[in-house]
Structure 1
Amino acid sequence: MYNLHLLGWRSFQDLCNCITREILGQTALSYLPSNDQGRDGSFTGKWITQKNEVFEGEFVIQCKFTSKQNKNFTFSDFSYEIEKVKELVKQEICDIYIIMTNAGISAKSAAKVKSELEKLGVKHSLVFGNEYISQQIKENTKLRRMVPRVYGLGDLSQIIDERVYRQAQVFLESLKDELAKVVITKSYHKAVEALEEYNFVLIVGEPAAGKTTIATLLAMGALDQWQAATLKLHRAEDVVKHWNPDEPNQLFWIDDAFGATHYESPLVYSWNSVMPQIVTMISRGAKIIMTSRDYIYNAAKKDLKSNVFPLLNESQVVVDVHDLSIEEKRQMLYNHIKLGKQSKTFRKEIKPFLESVAQNKRFIPETARRLSDPYFTSKLHLTNYWIDDFVERQEGFLIDVISDLDKDSKAALALIYMNNSNLLSPISLSQLENESLSRMGSSLNKCIEALNAMSGSMVHVQIEDDQHIWKYKHPTIGDAFARYLVKNTELLEIYIKGSDTDKLLDQITCGNVKLQGATIIPQNLFPSVLNKLTDYTKTKKFKTESWAIYFAKWGLVSFLSRRCSPNFLKMYVKQFPAIYEDISQPDLSKNVPREIELAVIFVKNGLLPEKNRLLITKQIAKYALTGENLDFLESEEIQSLFHDNELLELKDRIKNELLVLPLSEMTKLWKSKYRENNEDAEYHMYSLKSNLSLLQEYYPDVPDLETLIEDEIENIDDWIVNNTIPEEINESKTPMKDEKVHESDQETRSIFEDIDS
């Protein structure tokens, strides 16, 4: 059985409408409570039951909700509807009357109601109680996916297939207290449709908009409905590594795909490098869910090859908190406060203010969670002014909370931050981390006590890859802690000295380079960062030594090109002049590497020696003359590395050396690099077709070039067809339908009426 009494009257009515659609096969017209005239829903049509009973005509649905557990339905609960039923029968809009209730129904009570309805002229009547509704939820996977709150209202092991129960437990670990409070929004329905249609969905939205919640519900639905082998991973290469071509039902979930609180370019580089395999995986039935904060995705777009992988745009669901309906906001508030940790006294005192909270333009889903937790409201004065301040000053409020914490709690939050919001449990500290805790006046034991005290409010433990990990309860807490760090120079220096260098390079900017979400290091602390970089030659992200060296160098170049002000770069090249040699032989076989970006920045700031500039332009010319990389033709930034005469000379050499050869030579080069079983043919040839288009655009005066290029592209398209594996035919999919609501009615019954009961 399910704890349906926790739903609230509005959510129970929505559940009944979903049952009507899924079980009865009808889309009901819903009525708001002010003028429902005895109908919570209605439809006209035919319903054939599992027992082959046929009901046809005008259907009326009446929902009877009770917030009392184990309550039984009696005739008195229905008696005040009698006059309304008489009027409906008189209007000839009530042939079949259906009562749905979460209360228990006895045979005696059902018989009495049916007898009374028959006397009133109703042709047929049906009474569905808690047991019937619970059974429909248990038997219908699609119904559960449409109303995923039910996963949190019953015994999960009795709801879903035993084979996926253990996986489900892992996903629900982060939502076990929140799932019963979930509100299904239009964004969720769009995400379901995108995943079904494209096998891929990218969920984009501002912090605290509910992206991870939607992704969790999608993963649960995939586990339940398709028994999909579901993996929550962190990096693009992990997705490819875990893909099994012989297992069509696989779902991969990557939260914060391009960075947790700020843009991390190495993550995008990884996605670009494995995109051919990703395209192949999706074409063969694998499903992928990705999430990203909106400002991070906007920063990543310039580096992502989204034009090669159009699903990044076609299957993108933007979760915009400004698009939340007032009903959705009310339901979020109701669910969290009704089922949260607040006392009955608090719920009663805040009740008069809840409608204005829902109406506030700065309301976000996280607002409801914090209002439901005494940890965040212990100093909140329940007046209009202070409640509005609580809603509108989200990050500032959190910074105030952090400022008021004791030193051990601050040290515990700092420890999570120094570990990129992923602190392994049991906790094992490095020497630097131990020294940092000591300087903050804390210790490991005291931090553990503080973490346990803050668990469920500021932090929580999550299980990932069979490991227990301490995380912030919500990423916005990490954002606020970063702002708190910036305001506390002494603590900021402790953070720099105590952090792992890999993690530090992913979190900071040296100077303000306008990278949203990053921790800004002021100029007086630049020497501390330079000291950290002195011995940075290997990354800990890879165990293989060659990879560890390569990606340390790549990560450092990315950091310098994207996260450092000119003042820091001047200090860096003076202390580490070897960087010039590191960027002078870039590999341009796939795309424009970070070395080129850094070289451009050095040139703009007068920091690139002439001999290194010449080496770099020679490398650009080498790849341009084979046709492998022609980006310089359209990139003013790359052109800034050349003197005017050098640029003209290179363009002439392409005309006189590359374009005198058959274009098929370029195609042959691309074909030689094709990996048949691991790469999508169309994706592989995209860069070649782009380069041919560039040549056509920039060399219009070459005789017959346009015709030759068009013929070669036609040959390339034929090759793509011959090397493309036919897509499997997917099952037919039923699109989700929006509930129809009678718009003329205005809601007068408050959803908050029983919030203090």
Structure 2
Amino acid sequence: MTAHPRKGTVAAPGSPDFALHTLGWRAFQDLCAAVLREVWAQSVHTFADSNDGGRDGAFHGTWQQPPDPIGVQDVPDGPFVLQCKHTKKANTTLTPSELSDEFAKAQALVDQGLCGSYVLLTNARVSGASAATIRQRLLDAGVGYPLILDGQWICDTIATRQRLRTFVPRVYGLGDLSQILDERAYTQAQSLLGYLRDELATFVVTDAYRHAVQSVQDHGFVLLLGEPAVGKSVIAATLAMTALDAWGCLTVNAHDADGLVRHWNPHEPNQFFWIDDAFGAVRHEQQLTDSWSRHMRNVMTAVRGGAKVVLTSRDYIYRDARPYLKEYAYPLLHEQQVVVDVAQLPLHERRQILYNHIKLGDQPQAVRAMMKPHLDFAAETEPFHPEVARRLGQQTFTRHLEPTGEGITDFMARPTAFLRDVYAELGPDEKAALALAYQAGEQLPAPLTLDASQSDVINRIGSAPAGVSRALLALTGTFLRFASPPGNDSTTGWSFRHPTLQESFAEFMAADPNLLGIFIGGLNWRTLLTRIDCGTQQQRGTLLRVPPALYPAVIKRLLAVESQVRDGRYYLAEWYNFFATRCSDTFLQLYTEANTQFKERMMQFISFLDSAHEPKVLARLHEAGLLTSQEHNLLRERVAELAIETPDAAWLRQPEWHVLLSDTDREYLLQRVREELIPDLEYTLDTWRDNLPSGEDPYQYYRVLQDELGTYLEAFEQDAETASALDRAITNVEEAATSYDDYDPEPGEGPYTRHRAGLSHQAPPRNRSIFDDIDS
């Protein structure tokens, strides 16, 4: 049996060229699978690149000859193997030497009974001589039916199959449409391509797009709903492009219901109407909804007459408009929604979206190379916004981005600049509703009852209670959720749907000096401690520099959240760092006056001083002149206690102690160590022996004691007698550590466990990443 390709491998004059080299390896593989499914009218399953045994795709079952086969005839029954070879170079030729590994894999598959026919697909050219050599090598490997389909065959197939283009719409932006569409459709397509210029190149066929195509085919109507910038308009425009080709429609990009009715021609059934932001671009516009309500009967009549209609709307705008549309009278409007929900994008679609935006963006090759190791994880971030992925591929939005794992995932997960743009577009009612939810913290209770502070917020933003009530309902599901707080089923109310939405709104509000009080009052304690600066004017990454007039508001907020960040005597690191680095002298004075127990709590640090955060705060208080002589003496005695009993020598190493202790203080403490610790070093070592925790690594345990004694040895190097005693003690500590040579902790115990596990287990094999060629 032989293959009978209908097109030669050398492009004839005027043959289409879809620039397949511009696709990534994974996109090309998916394109090949789509081509073969359409051409052969049979299912084709694609395998991941890793551990595929030489198969990029495989078909198993009985071959049923298609009514109009392209490129293959008389194909035998039996298992098929599909192998894709993609090159990033244009106008290149595939040679047999590049397939040496594939011939060996093919023979192994034949031996396993997995390969009766072998189909090689490539975007490169394949000369007649090379095709003959490749075919013979496959026959020698035991393949019963080898078939080589090159890039020109794929381009010809795309050009002759309009249904294929419907489900692979990216090709519209890759080829010469004048070879596919008639003159009238070509003119319209050029206009649409002007709208789609960048979007079509990066377009990924998602489930939402497939559902939209099916709804238009089956019902002639689809309403695309979704959050801002998730791809609604791009899907609608792509549907318009495919309508020109697949359905032979005349495309009309109307602006509202009046425009649709005005351009509808009952004698021209093949019309495609695309109305973007049907009920308002950034907020509900009542006049647009009223127009749809008046004309809906005519719209549905047009649909029944053969017209196809696609509407898009932000979901929160549609929820506000829906009560005015009388959906009960037009069930088609209610039933044929295609909801574009980024939360439902599968991971492979996210990765393809991210790949396309970065590969086709304007990032330099060196930057893409630095990004590459982190992009798989970036695609997993929540929430995932395609628009944020697009911005990651543009230098304009990433000038200050560090292309590290943390930097990229933070850019994706916390798209503050993107969300600030979205918030800026909202109307006063929506902004006021979000401000109330933000100010409320955990939950804004329902029903809405306004106190004086909330009324003030509404007035400052320029809204009214009725507008806020309406906006809360409209924003629920997009920006807000309406539910009971965790662990409390007795109340319901509104809260931000995702923490990043709340944080981004805080940044938006902080830009307005009149609303800083709202910002401070609504911040959660971690954000409050890490994102504001109270007078130092030195911290990078500070979100808000609080003026002195608002210090009392910040202090009030800190006092209210103190119990949330304190567990007994132990504060969290963010708490200490705020007071140590982000507070002016004036702010610290006001705070210590309001919190009279604050300094006392800072004195209650415990060993080891290297890990204690309180000394940093005490050093800052000392610089501000807020430690009394009595408090300083208490601090020095606490250090002396730890220096001897632990023993802890961090007060000789850490910079904050150079601020807190004078030369006189250090001499005093060294004398205490000389008199009280050095004579009892043997007792100290016995205490450490007795306190060795079960399962603890003795080397790591005693290393701490060695370091402390070593620091003291340096301090007493001019004191021969004391230095000699410390040197003997360090030797004894080393001997104590080596006395546990039979140490073998139980699984899960001690720091050795992780190390040994890491040596005895290899990482599982990793599938080939879609981003492998992102920097090529």
TM-score band w.r.t. shorter chain: 0.5 to 0.7
Task: Output aligned runs, 1:195-594, within 5 Å.
Answer: 195-396=216-417, 399=420, 477=421, 479-482=422-425, 507-509=427-429, 512=432, 523=459, 562=467
**Residue aligning to 1:46:** 64
The residue type paired with residue 8 of structure 1 is G
The amino acid of 1:753's aligned partner reads D
Q: Secondary structure at the match of 2:64?
A: strand
Determine the structure 1 residue equivalent to 2:37.
Answer: 21
5+ residue gaps, structure 2, are 1-16, 438-455, 471-763
Q: Which amino acid is the alignment partner of residue 122 of structure 1?
A: V
* Letter of the 1:25 counterpart: A
Paired AA for residue 176 in structure 1? R
Q: In percent, how many aligned pairs have the same letter?
A: 44
Conserved 8 A contact 2:208-2:339: yes
Name the SS of the counterpart of 1:80 in structure 2. helix
Name the CA distance, whole Å, in 2 between partners of 1:263 and 1:747: 48
1:64 alignment partner AA: K
- Match of 1:175, SS state, is helix
* Residue in structure 2 matching 1:11, options 27, 34, 39: 27
The reply on whether 1:36 has 2:52 as its aligned counterpart is yes
Amino acid at match of 2:38: E
Distance 1:15 1:51, change over 3 A: closer
For residue 45 of structure 2, what is the amino acid of its counterpart? L
Change (3 A) 1:165 1:391: same
One-letter amino acid matched to 1:512: A
Kindly indicate whether the alpha-carbon contact (under 8 Å) linking 1:262 and 1:516 is maintained by their aligned counterparts in 2: no
2: CA distance, partners of 1:16 / 1:161:
26
| Kept in 2: contact 1:511–1:523 (CA 8 A) | no
Distance 1:52 1:17 in 2: 16
Partner in structure 2 of residue 180 of structure 1: 201
- 1:79 Cα deviation after fit: 1.4
Residues 246 and 104 of structure 1: CA distance in aligned 2, closer, same or farther (over 3 Å): same
**Cα gap change, 1:347 to 1:516, in 2 (>3 Å):** farther
Amino acid at match of 1:179: L
Instruction: Check whether the contact 2:367–2:403 (CA below 8 A) recurs between aligned residues.
Output: no
- Evaluate the alpha carbon distance shift between residue 52 and residue 60 of structure 1 in structure 2; reply closer, same or farther with a 3 A threshold: closer
CA RMSD of aligned residues (A): 2.8
Cα offset for 1:522? Answer: 6.3
Q: Which amino acid aligns with 1:756?
A: D
1:55 aligned onto 2:71? no
- The amino acid across from 1:224 in the alignment is D
Cα gap change, 1:562 to 1:237, in 2 (>3 Å): farther
Per-residue deviation, residues 445-482 of structure 1 (Å, max 9, x unmatched): xxxxxxxxxxxxxxxxxxxxxxxxxxxxxxxx4x2444
CA contact (8 A) 1:510 1:564 kept: no
**Structure 1 residues 356 and 53: alpha-carbon distance in aligned structure 2, compared to 1, 3 A threshold:** closer
In the other structure, the counterpart of 1:72 is 93
Q: Give unpaired runs (5+ residues) of structure 1.
A: 400-476, 484-506, 530-558, 566-744
1:97–1:385 CA distance, 2 compared to 1 (3 A): closer
Higher relative contact order, structure no. (Cα contacts within 8 Å, ≥ 6 residues apart): 1
**Which structure is larger by alpha-carbon Rg, 1 or 2?**
2
CA deviation string 1:257-295 (max 9, x = no partner): 111111122211111111111121111111000111111
Q: 1:746 to 1:26 in 2, by over 3 A?
A: farther
Q: State the TM-score, normalizing by the size of structure 2.
A: 0.54
Deviation at 1:38, TM superposition (A): 1.6
- Deviation (angstroms), 1:6: 1.2
Structure 1 contact 200–315 (Cα < 8 Å) conserved: yes
Compute the displacement of 1:233 (Å).
1.0
Q: Specify the SS of the correspondent of 2:75.
A: strand
CA distance in 1, matches of 2:23, 2:130: 24
Q: 1:370 to 1:755 in 2, by over 3 A?
A: same
Tell me the CA shift for residue 33 of structure 1.
1.3
Q: Distance in 2 between matches of 1:513 and 1:28?
A: 50
> Does the CA contact (< 8 Å) of 1:118 and 1:124 recur in 2?
yes
1:686-738 Cα deviation digits (max 9, x unpaired):
xxxxxxxxxxxxxxxxxxxxxxxxxxxxxxxxxxxxxxxxxxxxxxxxxxxxx
Provide, for residues 302-346 of structure 1, a one-character-per-residue CA deviation record: whole Å limited to 9, x for no partner: 222111111222211111111111111111111111111111111
Post-superposition offset of 1:59: 1.9
- CA distance 1:383–1:158, shift in 2 (3 Å): same
The answer to whether 1:90 aligns with 2:90 is no
Amino acid of the structure 2 residue aligned with 1:317 = V
Measured in 1, the distance between the counterparts of 2:195 and 2:377 equals 30
Is 1:112 matched with 2:112? Answer: no
Amino acid at match of 2:284: Y
1:393 maps to amino acid: R
Q: TM-score, normalised by structure 1?
A: 0.56
**Following the alignment from structure 2 to structure 1, what is the Cα–Cα distance between the partners of residues 131 and 210?**
35
Q: Distance in 1 between matches of 2:405 and 2:46?
A: 33
Cα distance in 2 for residues equivalent to 1:382 and 1:92? 47
Task: Output the CA distance in 2 between the equivalents of 1:2 and 1:165.
Answer: 16
Distance 1:297 1:122 in 2: 58
For the 8 Å contact 1:257–1:291, the answer to whether it is kept is yes
Distance, in Å, in 2 between the alignment partners of 1:264 and 1:303 is 12
In 2, the alpha carbon distance for the partners of 1:297 and 1:107 equals 58
8 A Cα contact 1:515 1:563, kept in partner: no
Counterpart of 1:34 in 2: which secondary structure?
Answer: coil
Q: Which residue of 2 aligns with 1:193?
A: 214
Q: CA deviation at 1:386?
A: 2.9
Please state how far the C-alpha of 1:189 moved relative to its aligned partner: 0.6
Shift of the 345–271 alpha-carbon distance from structure 1 to 2, 3 Å rule, reads same
CA positional deviation for 1:14: 0.8
Q: Distance in 1 between matches of 2:70 and 2:469?
A: 68
Q: Does the 8 A contact of 2:458 with 2:465 survive in 1? A: no
- Deviation of residue 366 (structure 1)? 0.8
Contact in 2 for aligned 1:255/1:290 (Cα 8 Å): yes
Measured in 2, the distance between the counterparts of 1:234 and 1:394 equals 30
Which residue is 2:159 aligned to?
A: 138
SS in structure 1 at match of 2:311: strand
Give the counterpart letter for 2:64 in structure 1.
K
**Offset, 1:514:** 6.3
SS at match of 1:359: coil
Q: Distance in 1 between matches of 2:191 and 2:36?
A: 32
CA distance in 1, matches of 2:118, 2:231: 38
* SS of residue in 2 equivalent to 1:318: strand
* Structure-2 separation of matches of 1:562 and 1:281: 35
Partner of 1:753: 772
Partner-residue secondary structure (3-state), 1:289: strand
Residues 511, 117 of structure 1: CA spacing in aligned structure 2 closer, same or farther, 3 A cutoff?
closer
**What SS does the corresponding residue of 2:327 show, helix, strand or coil?**
coil
> Cα–Cα, structure 1 residues 112 and 516, in superposed 2: closer, same or farther, change >3 Å?
farther
Deviation string, structure 1 residues 105-160 (Cα, Å, up to 9, x no partner): 10011100111111222221111111100101111111111101111112233332
Distance, in Å, in 1 between the alignment partners of 2:101 and 2:270 is 51
